[in-house]
Structure 1
Amino acid sequence: MKTDRAITICLLHVLREYSDENHILSMQEIRQKMQLLYHIQPDRRTIYSSIALLLDLGYDISTFEDNKIGYYLQSRTFEQSEILLLIDAVYAFPFISNKQSSDLISKFQNQLSMHQRKKYTHLKVVRSSRKSDNRQVFLNIEVLDEAIQDKKQVSFSYLKYDINKTLKKRREKPYIVNPYGMVYMNEHYYLICNLSGKINTSLYRIDHMKDVVIQSSSWDKEYERKEDAMDAVYAFSGKPEAITMRCDNIILDDVIDRFGTNIFIRKTSDTEFEFTVHAPPRGIKFWALQYLQYVEVLSPIWLKDQITSSILQNKYITSKTQ
């Protein structure tokens, strides 16, 4: 015979799985579920007692006295809208493999009742071919987090795609780095670090890492450059510089989405504006080329010249002169 504590746990599972505001369980239905699932049929007094205990423990249960129909779990760890947002995010993150995405989504869905879960069966992975093939991502994150907390170096193999679209080691010798933090940008999760013996900040995609191992050696020294990584554009780190650009109003939203609201924007005409941002020039170069029709880098001049040179050397132009 199950103890009162076990009956309370079984009751909580029944309410979590089978009840919500649109599916209120009567006392008879609760007893039937308990018998079907756990082969027990506690009397009404025992169930009343278990419900009272759950209420005392902070569970938000609507009772017959509240709704005049029956019993249901009124609030959960996550609201339905929050679960939907989390599921959409997991589907969208390319660094999480298809298998890991499915497992994680199942855990989120288990926070809902069986009836609520049916609403989300239509969701699909968008462009699943973009999902990482590396199933070590979550393990990588755990190991890296431990190394960061303990200020230890880590070693890892770094992968890149070959012509057959297969991830292969970039080199046989493992990378050894001082890990300082992790950051999500440009749809990927990166490790902020520097190579052992170097001072320049580097960013490595965590989904392209394999065989991450914490070393016995501590960081080279207390040298953190997280700010450089936060200023990175398109994951190109480096020393930030003041860069001024003139843009067409049509990309104002894109500018704010990329650089935030802390930038100073000056209106120069009815159709254009200028702004200055502190960021690594290499990343700005690629950003400006993406919006070539709408962006002009004004300073520094050397960066403007470099972008001009890239434009003149692109294949659309050079192929016409051959």
Structure 2
Amino acid sequence: MEILDKFGLDIQQKKGKNPGYYIGARDFELPELKLLVDAVQSSKFITEKKSKELITKLEKLSCRTDAAMLSKYVFIVNRPKTENETVYYNVDYIHTAIYENKEIKFHYAEWTVKKELKLKKGGAFYVVSPWALTWDDENYYLVAYDAAAGIIKHYRVDKMQNTEILETDRKGEESFKNFDLAAFAKKTFGMYGGVDAEVTLECRNELAGVVIDRFGHDVWLLPQGEDYFKTRVLVSVSPQFFGWVTGIGSGMRITGPESVKADYAQYLKNIIANYEVEDMVACRET
């Protein structure tokens, strides 16, 4: 016991009906391990096989009783999970490339209607400078600089294949000198790129929580009468942003700038047009 104590273990003695020794303080409390287990099992980015492996390792950080409780807490089957086992190698390559200041190349894939992954750009390699990894909507993204296009882009890590670290140094340092990953994630919807703009929204008061959850507690909210408030937020204007506004419903309205209002109106017209065509076809058939 003295040797274990010298190694920093918190050895406690229990007296009474079931006397013995046990480890008192542990690096992780049960609620903390539950939090980590939940993050692993709910992540689409981690395969079912790897999820089970990671959770088993987390269970070993607790005592037998707590480990049994964690096992009962796990529900992995039937959750949407990636099947790409190379994801972990991609993450390792990306971290190494960032540390060594090197570019990477990879194939990038997309799903087809046959539920098969097809390489984009005709199978040509993407060459980019990796600068960060970020988590968004249960997916893992690489944030990188595309020197050929001269802009920052992001890629789903689970859709990257045949990743390699190149000998060439990274580019785009100026673009990332004052880069704020949190601000980038806040203004981007679904990691879908677009033109940045300060957009003014008029919302019903009951949507204050929705706006705060999306843009943070420091978001500007200005009351407009008894039922509405106005907010101005920096967003990357994209179909995903318009989809977010549409999903909230009539309680939110874009009031500026005029160019964004016009783009949103056209977005809605295009959607409505799809259903108008269907109605016309249905009328002809009847």
TM normalised by structure 2 equals 0.87
State the distance in 2 between where 1:259 and 1:218 align: 35
Structure 2 residue 263 is matched with structure 1 residue 306: yes
Q: Which is worse superposed, 161-170 or 98-107? A: 161-170
Q: Which residue of 1 aligns with 2:164?
A: 213
Structure 2 counterpart of 1:56, one-letter code: K
Alignment check: 8 A CA contact 2:130 2:143 kept = yes
1:178 to 129, 139, 148: 129
The answer to whether 1:229 aligns with 2:184 is: yes
Partner letter of residue 266 of structure 2? Answer: S
Report if aligned partners of 2:129, 2:146 keep a CA contact under 8 Å in 1: yes
Deviation of residue 240 (structure 1)? 2.4
For residues 31-81 of structure 1, the C-alpha deviation after alignment (integer angstroms, 9 at most, x for no partner) is xxxxxxxxxxxxxxxxxxxx1122222211212479993211112121111
Question: Any gaps of 5 or more consecutive residues in structure 1?
Answer: 1-50
Provide the rounded CA distance (Å) in 2 between the counterparts of 1:184 and 1:292. 27
Residue 201 of structure 1 and its aligned partner are, at CA, apart by 1.2
Q: How does 1:53-68 map to 2 (within 5 A)?
A: 53-64=3-14
Deviation at 1:162, TM superposition (A): 1.0
Query: Once the two structures are superposed, what CA deviation does each residue of 1:183-214 show, in whole Å capped at 9, x if it has no partner?
Result: 11122111111223222111101111111111
Deviations 1:124-153 (A, max 9, x none): 12642x201111111111110111122211
**Structure 1 match to 2:229:** 273
Using the size of structure 1 for normalisation, the TM-score is 0.78
Where does the alignment leave 5 or more consecutive residues of structure 2 unmatched?
Answer: 282-286
Q: Which has the larger radius of gyration?
A: 1
**1:259-318: per-residue Cα shift (whole Å, max 9, x none)?**
111210111133221111112111532321222332211111111111111212213454
- 2:259 corresponds to which letter in structure 1? W
**Sequence identity, in percent?**
24
- What is the alpha-carbon distance in structure 2 between the residues aligned to residue 265 and residue 286 of structure 1? 22
Question: Is the alpha carbon distance of 1:285 and 1:143 closer, same or farther for their aligned partners in structure 2, counting shifts above 3 Å?
Answer: same
SS at match of 1:88: helix
User: Given that residues 192 and 229 in structure 1 are in contact (C-alpha distance below 8 angstroms), is that contact kept between their aligned partners in structure 2?
Assistant: no
Which SS does the other structure have where 1:148 is aligned?
Answer: helix
Q: Which is strand-richer, 1 or 2?
A: 2
- 1:143 matched to which residue of 2? 93
Quote the offset at 1:82 in angstroms.
0.7
- Pick the aligned partner of 2:76 from 115, 125, 134: 125
| Counterpart-to-counterpart distance in 2, 1:297 and 1:317 | 24
Distance 1:229 1:144 in 2: 19
Q: How many residues align?
A: 271
**Which of 256, 275, 278 does residue 212 from structure 2 map onto?**
256
Determine if contact 1:267/1:274 at 8 Å carries over to the other structure: yes
Other-structure match for 1:32: none
Seen in structure 2, the aligned counterparts of structure 1 residues 66 and 147 have a Cα distance that, compared at 3 Å, is: farther
1:105 is matched with 55
Write out aligned runs for 1:16-31 (5 A).
none
Q: What are the equivalent positions in structure 2 for 1:67-86 lying under 5 Å apart?
A: 69-86=19-36
Contact 1:154 1:177 in 2 (8 A): yes
Does the C-alpha gap of structure 1 residues 118 and 221 become closer, same or farther in structure 2, counting only changes over 3 Å?
A: closer
Correspondence 1:163-174 to 2 at 5 A: 163-171=113-121, 172-174=123-125
Partners of 1:277 and 1:215 in 2: how far apart?
A: 39
Cross-structure match for 1:286: 243
Question: How far 1:252 sits from its partner (Å)?
Answer: 2.1
Distance 1:321 1:305, change over 3 A: farther
